[in-house]
Amino acid sequence: MAAGGDCGGYRSPLASRYASPEMCFLFSDKYKFRTWRQLWLWLAEAEQTLGLPVTEEQIQEMKSNLDNIDFKMAAEEEKQLRHDVMAHVHTFARCCPKAAGIIHLGATSCYVGDNTDLIILRNAFDLLLPKLARVISRLADFAKERADLPTLGFTHFQPAQLTTVGKRCCLWIQDLCMDLQNLKRVRDELRFRGVKGTTGTQASFLQLFEGDDQKVEQLDKMVTEKAGFKRAFIITGQTYTRKVDIEVLSVLASLGASVHKICTDIRLLANLKEMEEPFEKQQIGSSAMPYKRNPMRSERCCSLARHLMTLVLDPLQTASVQWFERTLDDSANRRICLAEAFLTADTVLNTLQNISEGLVVYPKVIERRIRQELPFMATENIIMAMVKAGGNRQDCHEKIRVLSQQAAAVVKQEGGDNDLIERIQADAYFSPIHSQLDHLLDPSSFTGRASQQVQRFLEEEVCPLLKPYESVMKVKAELCL
């Protein structure tokens, strides 16, 4: 399921165009059905260890045919049987004639179906976590480098107090750090369905072991350990509780919200010409307007993040309508939403890493915008300086109010530059502080503790969170398009 391929029919753009080959492979038929065979092998090995009549010859035959999958035969079998698991039992048995009688012994379809899904979910998280860590790392480098660079802050997308470029980036990083912790938590809390039988009572296995409860418990534990899980559910119906899927897709949807916010900010800053995503030498921004540098990567992230955020509705509804021990109306839905959620998350993280590795900042544009707005923001400091120089606060306030209105009219009605400071310099009333105006208008004096906050945040919260991922930090993001 790597990118590219036959153009003769529809394929999901996530698999054919956007997501990484590694994530696509996890959700491929080859990986799925190979894992089914591995689960049948683990079950047989555990049953043999616990005394059931499973021979070493049968075990070795299964081992040697794990990858020998006749997909054409499986498809033909499923067409006849209308049952995917039994189709693959028959297909596996065809190439393992000696083991045919013990494949799937005591198990139900969800033994392979649900346990494979849990293995895939765990491994998919293992692909996402380093990618998210790399995005955070790249943005942390960006924030550290620009921790002191003043920029105009916005509330309601209206000019507000100054902040710094690095501090604003830390707002993005903080959300992504929360996502990293949440993805890791849900990944680590995944439990194996284990060996539970048709309705979760383990009745078939209890019969196989002639009522020996301890051996049934051991069987469940052994297969769980072979699959690499620390624990399995004690209670299941035919399936593991579908609330697990809600947890999984909730944290991915939350990641989608974070990415959408970040890339929306980048798109707005691109419009302001203060910041841009990478733009390659041969890249075309518009077929009609050659001068354009559209934020295509950020737009892609927003587009796919919206899709990612909506996918959590599927498991919410599925979990709510699982009657009693289970119904099969979960199956087709889960095949789509689980795969699409991880493929989408994979794509947006690949793209966001690429963006974060090549963000461009234009300090002169930022400085010009500050000059347009800072005079109004500095009025309170000017009033305080005048009071310290012996002036009357109310008189000074009124003088600045009148001059500010005049300067605003020049900006809004005439399209001119903000000339408030020139008006103050020309007014003899303010002569006691004329020599202080440059200091009073120094942008760095309006950013508060922004740079110190950046340093402390990166040192105390971000660096410790990234430490487990140090060995994978140098990997570059490769975009399919």
Interaxial angle between packed helices 109-145 and 29-49, expressed in degrees from 0 to 180 and rounded to the nearest 10: 120
Instruction: Check 286, 431, 444, 445 and give the catalytic one.
Output: 286
Q: Which CATH architecture has domain 109-279+292-361?
A: Up-down Bundle (1.20)
Residue type, 271: N
How many angstroms separate the CA atoms of 66 and 233, rounded?
27
Residues 307/344, Cβ–Cβ less than 8 Å = yes
How many angstroms separate the CA atoms of 216 and 207, rounded?
10
* Domain boundaries for CATH 1.10.40.30 within the chain: 365-446
Q: Which CATH class is domain 365-446?
A: mainly alpha
Tokens 């033994």, located at residue: 111
- How much is the pTM? 0.91
* Domain boundaries for CATH 1.10.275.10 within the chain: 15-95
How many angstroms separate the CA atoms of 398 and 389, rounded?
17
Residues 155/171, Cβ–Cβ less than 8 Å = no
How many angstroms separate the CA atoms of 433 and 378, rounded?
13
Instruction: Check 12, 83, 88, 156 and give the catalytic one.
Output: 156
CB atoms within 10 A of CB 136: 24
* CATH homologous superfamily for the domain 15-95: Fumarase/aspartase (N-terminal domain) (1.10.275.10)
How many angstroms separate the CA atoms of 159 and 168, rounded?
14
DSSP symbol at 445 = G
* Domain boundaries for CATH 1.20.200.10 within the chain: 109-279+292-361
Q: pLDDT 10s digit of each residue in the chain, 481 long?
A: 444 445 678 888 898 889 999 999 999 999 999 999 999 999 999 999 999 999 999 999 999 999 999 999 999 999 999 999 999 999 999 999 999 999 999 999 999 999 999 999 999 999 999 999 999 999 999 999 999 999 999 999 998 899 999 999 999 999 999 999 999 999 999 999 999 999 999 999 999 999 999 999 999 999 999 999 999 999 999 999 999 999 999 999 999 999 999 999 999 999 999 999 986 654 545 445 444 578 999 999 999 999 999 999 999 999 999 999 999 999 999 999 999 999 999 999 999 999 999 999 999 999 999 988 888 888 888 999 999 999 999 999 999 999 999 999 998 899 988 999 999 999 999 999 999 998 888 999 899 999 999 999 999 999 999 999 999 999 988 776 6
The candidate with the shortest Cα–Cα distance to 441, out of 366, 381, 367, is: 381
Q: Give the E-state strand segments of 43-197 in sequence order.
A: 150-155, 158-164
Instruction: Check if 90 is active-site.
Output: no
Instruction: Check if 397 is active-site.
Output: no
Bridge partner list, 163: 151
Question: In 21-53, which positions are buried (b, 16+ CB within 10 angstroms) versus exposed (e)?
Answer: eebbebbbeebbbbbbbbbbbbbbbbbbebebe
